Amino acid sequence: MLHLPKDLILASASPRRIQLLRQVGLEFRAISASIQEEYNGRKPVEFAVDMAVEKASSVAASLEQAIVLAADTIVVLGDKILGKPSDAKEAKEMLHSLSNRLHEVITGYCIYDRPSNNVIKNYELTKVWFRELENEEIESYVNSGSPLDKAGAYGIQDDFGAVFVSRIEGCYYNVVGLPLAKVYNDLKHCIANNVM
């Protein structure tokens, strides 16, 4: 198990990220970061990493000593970024557009140290293939309310969202919301090299 030299703060209220960090035995507390997410024509990886840095910075500013971890997950279909749907109608549109197609899930993350203000930025990309979805499946899933707080309007870990995915290439946990192996190794590297 990883022993951090100071408190770890997760700059997120995401139940999925909270669960993933607990899964690897990390002790932390969560502080929600509220920022405006505006795409502004940036490349997807750049956008996801920038959002993670903004989240980490906004939470770190109120702390004297801590390691802050923030992440931002986006779904990319062709050249279009799919964030969280604003309503059920948009969720259905997103799921129809993902049906029988390949998309990418990108999570940008940032590890921000206080008080040194050292920052580590990184990202993970996973390719995800959807099978062809039936209208009734999309209707039923959206009516459950589950897709409304998820990028791309689905959760690979959901009871029903899981059966939309025919295969993935890359990190599964990245699709859930946090590339665990990469984040864990970056934290380990920080401690070993006294970066934090």
* Spatial distance between the Cα atoms of 191 and 182, rounded to a whole number of angstroms: 14
Cα angle vertex 163, ends 24, 25, to 5°?
5
- Catalytic positions are 72
Q: What residues contact residue 57 under an 8 Å CB cut-off, 6+ apart?
A: 112
Q: Which helix (H) or strand (E) holds 183?
A: helix 180-192
Runs of H (alpha helix) within the chain? 15-23, 44-60, 88-98, 135-143, 172-176, 180-192
- Quickly tell me which residue has 């999309």 as its tokens: 138
* Spatial distance between the Cα atoms of 108 and 126, rounded to a whole number of angstroms: 12
